[in-house]
Amino acid sequence: MTPLTRIARLSAAFLGSNLARAAIGFGLSFALARGLGAERFGRWILCTAWASTLTVVVDLGFGVLLTRDAARQDAEPGRLLAGALVLRLALAVPLAALLYAGATSLSADAETVAGLRVAAALGTAGAVYGCFGALFRSQPRWLPTVLAIESAWLAIQMVAATLMVRGGAARDGRIVSLITLAILVQLAQIATAAVAWRRVFGERGAVRLPAPDAIVVLLRRALPFALSGLVANVQTRIGPLMLGYFSTQAELGLFAAASRFGTVARLAPQAVFAGALPVLTHEHGRDRAAADRVFRTFDRMLLAGATAAAVGCALFAGPVLRLVYGPSFTRAAPALFWVSVGLIPLLSNSGRKVFLYASGGETRVLQWSAVALVVQLALGAVLIPAFGSVGAAVSVAIGEAAVWWPLRGRSDRTLRPSSPHHAPASMRARPT
């Protein structure tokens, strides 16, 4: 298959998996909400939110780094897995212990405290499986199978949780039993990954612990990815926070409604980005010029798709808002228009960032993402008090547009020979 065909195949797999997970998540929440009632369902949400927060905090950038590095022809996934597990667990275990000990400070309810303590183990298990999942995502041949297995385990969790609730196992305050089920499913995913590991990676998958100095180098290489993820999370959340501070709750509601359409419009492109990373990484390691040509074609297609999505959102903003949220949200149409305009530079920049990740330019991604955040913050402080939700949407659009041209620079002008992409030997240190 051609690189573009592989990208299309992997993107379809990611999109299908994301939709399946969304449906499973909705089914699980529906069953638990009806079976537990509002109060206990809220306890479940609180406990699982803390577990997922723990998993996200200890990601350390490996969610992207492992996928990128394992897609290279000279990769040693066994060493990458061992190093990532050591670093994640070194942070996850103390944080899990802190969550366990501090559960009584987060809630006075005995059931919630017990759930939070078990959730500490769930967050740690999620961090462990995340290392396997990121490495499996680097293998285009196996990716659809891996995604299908992950979705299947989540479906099993949904069915089992539904039966537990209907049978009364969790009606008497046993939220712990539902979280324990989630842990068992996570452990089953880890076991499945361990069984499939050698079949997917062959001899390259031999797990050998790198030397301490190599682990330090690995952590240093992951740092730009971790910081980029932090900046991206701040970019997503800073608009609502600034609206809550500088404007009114009504304007915050309008912005939330408009932003929801932008989130939906990004579902397919995000699947494309996930599918493109391992393919572009492989092509860059094989032939830089060919990788550049593949990306330029990919970039033109992405820009055309982003423009079409933006035009569609802008044209139908008012009617769609009225239909989905009701007449009172028609006032969010101007904000939705600017959200739509911002999709063009945002998606184009995201595509370029994927290529820079694939070619070792993650430091440049971090630099320009930080610039976009600073521009968004500065404009938001000026525009939000005067224009509310529209000001927030405009600040996001201009922040992305401001870094559009710098991110268009050719990779051979932005990457240095000492880039982490050109130093895979750092993980080949002698085993301890």
DSSP 311-371: HHHHHTHHHHHHHHH-GGGGGGHHHHHHHHHHHHHHHHHHHHHHHHHHTT-HHHHHHHHHH
Tokens representing 310 are: 């933006």
Examine the pLDDT at 419 and tell me if it is beyond 50. Answer: no
Mean pLDDT of the chain, nearest integer: 84
Q: How far is CA 219 from the centre of its chain?
A: 19
The domain spans of the chain are: 3-209, 218-424
At 73 the pLDDT is: 80
pLDDT band at 374 (very low <50, low <70, confident <90, very high): very high
* Interval 270-315: pLDDT, tens: 888 888 888 888 878 777 777 788 888 888 887 887 788 778 777 7
> What's the whole-number mean pLDDT along residues 383-397?
92
At 412 the pLDDT is: 43
At 411 the pLDDT is: 42
At 169 the pLDDT is: 52
At 428 the pLDDT is: 47
* Interval 217-235: pLDDT, tens: 999 999 999 999 889 888 8
User: Which distant-in-sequence residues (6+ apart) come within 8 Å of 156 by Cβ?
Assistant: 185
82 Rama sector, left if φ>0, alpha if ψ -120 to 50, beta otherwise: alpha
* Interval 18-52: pLDDT, tens: 888 888 988 888 888 888 887 888 888 888 889 98
pLDDT band at 261 (very low <50, low <70, confident <90, very high): confident
108, exposed or middle or buried, with CB in 10 Å at 0-12, 13-18, 19+?
exposed
Tokens representing 430 are: 């002698």
At 414 the pLDDT is: 42
| Phi, psi (rounded to 5 degrees) for 211 | -65, 155
At 173 the pLDDT is: 53
pLDDT band at 151 (very low <50, low <70, confident <90, very high): very high
Residue 113 CA: distances (Å) to CA of 5, 41, 43, 94, 161 = 50, 14, 9, 18, 20
A 10 A CB-CB count for 213 gives: 11
A 10 A CB-CB count for 233 gives: 11
DSSP 230: H
* Interval 74-133: pLDDT, tens: 888 889 999 999 999 999 999 999 999 998 988 888 888 998 999 999 999 999 999 999
* Interval 152-175: pLDDT, tens: 999 999 999 988 888 765 455 578
The percentage of the chain sitting over the pLDDT mark of 90, rounded to a whole number, equals 31
Cβ atoms of residues 277 and 358 within 8 Å = yes
Q: Tell which wins on pLDDT, 17 or 429.
A: 17
At 422 the pLDDT is: 45
For the whole model, what pTM was predicted?
0.80
Q: Which amino acid is at 224?
A: P
Cβ atoms of residues 176 and 122 within 8 Å = no
At 429 the pLDDT is: 44
pLDDT band at 421 (very low <50, low <70, confident <90, very high): very low
